[in-house]
Structure 1
Amino acid sequence: MKQMANTKMNADTKPSAMELVNRNLGRRYRAEKRFRFIGLFAIVCSLLFLAVLFFSIVLKGYSAFWQSYLLLDINFEESVLDVDNLAAADYNSLVKKTLRAMFPEVKSRSDKKKLYSLVSPGAAFQLQKMVLADTSIIGLTLSVRVPADDDVDMFMKGKIDRTVPEEERRLKDIQLEWVDELILQNRLEKKFNVIFFTAGDSREPELAGILGA
């Protein structure tokens, strides 16, 4: 009789199948919540990391979106531009002649070389493209905005300190004087760097872009 009572008591205290299922479901729901929380936390951390990385890239490379340009009054001389061979014309001479006209006091060969170096080599290619696209400009004088040399560009972006001794910087004192004069004449300024988005790789930093990347 006592044994039967114990058996009945054990049967009454033993959890039913439904109770066991409910307990397992509760643990499963809690485990799923923890898993979802961990997954959400991982996603938030990843997005935060990407945001910090993007901000760091923009902060360090934002200056690449701007480029220094010189405004030159180019005389597309017929004597230089042979209509029968426009691709091989000396467009660089047009740039040099304009610079000499802007700074007539520059006489020595070494100073002229420093003066010419203010303009990017890409200026000649720009003039060539203009002439090949429209030969009617031959014989005219047009104001053309051409890219400045990378050293000038770095100075304009504050990357070259003019207070550093002359022998320790790439732009010499006389070049800085010309740069100052060009700025005063509104002929040297920073513009949105279209080249950066439309050009490919180049040996000249101011002419390099991401198009071929």
Structure 2
Amino acid sequence: MTDQGTRVRTIDIVTQGLAKRYRAERRFRFYGLSAILVSIVVLALLFISIIGNGYTAFWQTRIRLDVTFDPEVLQRDTLANADYDALVRAALQKLFPEVQGRQERRQLNGMISSGAAYALRDMALGDPDIIGKTVSVWVFADDDIDMIVKGQFSREVSEENRRISDQQLAWLDRLTAEGRVEKKFNIIFFRSGDSREPEQAGIWGAVMGSFFTLVITLLLSFPIGVAAAVYLEEFAHKNRWT
């Protein structure tokens, strides 16, 4: 009887221990799944916030100008260093001949990105026969104009509290009515690096920096990790640390 009673008590103890262990495993599984679920929710909220606030960066406002590649400005032997900004200013002046004051001209020219000159330079260098012709060219708008077109800035804000003037808004509305304003997919965002001009900035520099960081990390960590594993498995003495 004593042996049988002892066996019964032992089985009860083992059964209780197993039940306790199973409960602990279920709690551990629950905590793990809860942590994963919370992480997924937080990550989803992060991506929603990033996409919701930054999706407009994938679109870029462009303005169509009728640019005359004036041979007096562009000499074939100095195309790389020619004053292409003068061509942009002349194209704007043709669209708004009534603009005469220095301050007004500065505001008008400020509606176009400084990158427009580089685009015209690339066109002239790629096809010198374009000199002397008038060509319709879509150029990037300045970042302030771009933000207004995308709706990031309110037009209802008073003039002194926004970065573009009422006159610039009127010019923008006129260009829009003439079909000279459009939004296109911003390929520059993916192939350009850092820039002081927001409309010309991109993520290419950050992507390449991240890539080289990963490569260097892999080159340093992989041989060290493999060597440590071989040492611990084949040569290290078995103790509490190895």
TM class by shorter chain equals: 0.7 to 0.9
More helix by share: 2
When residues 15 and 137 of structure 1 are mapped into structure 2, their CA distance, relative to the original with a 3 A threshold, is farther
Which is higher, the Rg of structure 1 or of structure 2?
Answer: 1
Could you tell me which of 30, 33, 56 is aligned with 1:63? 56
Give RMSD over aligned pairs.
1.8
Work out which of the residue numbers 146, 168, 171 in structure 2 matches 1:175. Answer: 168
TM-score, with length taken from structure 2: 0.78
Q: How many percent of aligned residue pairs carry the same amino acid?
A: 51
1:47 matched to which residue of 2?
40
Cα deviation for residue 101 of structure 1 reads 0.5
Residue 123 (1) aligns with residue 129 (2): no
Please give the alpha-carbon distance, in whole angstroms, between the structure 2 residues aligned to 1:116 and 1:74: 14
Q: Does 1:12 align with 2:28?
A: no
Aligned pairs (5 A) from 1:103-182? 103-182=96-175
- The offset of 1:20, in angstroms, is 5.1
Find the aligned partners of 1:15 and 1:31 in 2 and give their Cα distance. 25
Unaligned ranges ≥5, structure 1: 1-7
Instruction: Give the Å deviation of 1:93.
Output: 0.7
- Return the offset for 1:19: 6.0
**What is the number of equivalent residue pairs in this alignment?**
205
Per-residue displacement from partner, 1:124-158 (whole Å, max 9, x unpaired)? 01111222223232222221111101111121122
Secondary structure at the aligned position of 2:61 is classed as strand
> 1:184 aligned to 172, 177, 180, which one?
177
Q: Compared with structure 1, are the counterparts of its residues 21 and 109 closer, same or farther at alpha carbon in structure 2 (3 Å cutoff)? A: same
Contiguous gaps of at least 5 residues in structure 2: 207-242
- Counterpart for residue 3 of structure 1: none
1:20-31 equivalences under 5 Å are: 21-31=14-24
Match of residue 195 from structure 1? 188
Q: Which residue of 2 aligns with 1:208?
A: 201
Going from structure 1 to structure 2, the CA distance change for 1:104 and 1:33 (only over 3 Å counts) comes to: same
| Structure 1 range deviating more: 30-39 or 100-109 | 30-39
